[in-house]
Structure 1
């Protein structure tokens, strides 16, 4: 397809973000707080990496039964998701540390997960964070196998059952890194024709190939060489790890943008979205922060997705503190602040949206919007 550069244009709504940004900056300056994660997040990063690498080392020791090794593979999956949400995500956004070197170092943890830093930066940081919930441009809701996550996506009869099988497909997310990064080369090159991205750099192709080979050696060749296991036994552990990480990561990301109350705007024929960028982020994103501090800690503050989309350069450790400022400012300007009560509420909302999109036209019952909830100070 031919990609068209998308522009945000609405002067009447452009006042919101400067006011909000001034208030957020005042919060940090008046409290003498750094916007990065500080020392604590580095310890957290080491913990998440250990959650992934220590079970790997224990499996390689050969001292445990197949069942225990399988359990360790599941724990590795928890580590993969933890690294992805709490370490790599902040680092590639440049918010984990004030040092670019530290951000680059921890951002490189994506290679341990089978992904690629450059592809993630383009697909996630530039495209998803700029053109959130815009069909054909935001890859998070576009072109998913057997899934219809946008009302602009072509309808297929099998979509009627997607709320049943969706979570199985979600579990394949991190496995797809192995081939998806190569497919994105042509995608980025096509988008470069409109100026939305840059052509895929040739030097990055070498990094891509070498990192994929390194991951296959790390995750397949080394265990098969040192352990007396069959390929089938290895495959079971590999799938257990990736199913665990994939379903966690996909569900968390989808509950931020494919829930009731969020918008899926369509650009006009000139590629213009009649909205200011910040208001667009506010209207295409939803929070699901509840009372569980442990959940919020583990998922890297991604239950505060509104704050993250408005201020991706601020570390997730600050989202809880700035959320009342964001909410109050949004309501002051007359904009909804879409916040689900908790994880379970958001999960139910996401499932209802999957069912809604399983029809060519959403039934009236799915058009009802949940009541907005307040965010604790």
Structure 2
């Protein structure tokens, strides 16, 4: 139960002014620009876009600036803006097989058709602070970005050619993709809705669940079949025109995990898949998503659901960081009436407890 707090409007306005002052910081330093955030803190911008479910680098950078770098606050801001946008259609599924690849690695095959492409990554750095970045840290010259072929074979295609991996499932022609943002959640979920929830789920939460599956809390023995990052084309089929229109290109990260499956009465021994796809360059999130996706498919393969990462309702109900933040942070709001009620209850319970203790003492003394 909440109660109105009188006279709080002025205090709130002052709090907003103080927040704006702290956001701006030292006036002797130039204000950070949206372009600087996009170009120099791109991975943070990518995470905001991914977990807000809105691909717009400028708006994501604006949210990041407005939130003073608080990722979840920025995600909340961008999601709130997203709800104001009109829906005018549904794009066709992006064809990641035709991705303009900027990075592509596999832990399963050393020699790949198309080769391994390391791209921009922290994987091979020494994790040592670079003092040169205390200054401008200008790179001598821009690094040339080599072009890639339009189609780079997937690792899963190699395994599929030998019949060693489960088929890349096809949806029925009459299947209508669900929309988690417009439909209430119901369990059990179809996989397309589940993947939507994971794609916008909190990276830290999914990372912890993914880690748990590797420590025995789930039946997984994963290999990174392939991680690829690059540009894919987004297309919209316009019925009035009778053909597909290209809306532009977006950068995404895709991960396919390969997991061993011993087989069942219905399926032979083979490899199974876990899948992750997120906006921007976000490999940790895509990997965690694919590991959790595979764990949540336990029922499909007749596996016992024993671990938290295999419990669909637990995972999906708690992976949304905006919802989780709202529920935790609402504790900061006034709960005066609730607390006074509990305070009165605890006092009465203590008085009753003391009376019972005194009776026991008197009884022992009498005996």
TM-score range, shorter chain: under 0.3
Higher strand share: 2
Which structure is larger by alpha-carbon Rg, 1 or 2?
2
TM-score by length of 2: 0.24
Higher helix share: 1
Structure with higher RCO (Cα < 8 A, 6+ apart): 1
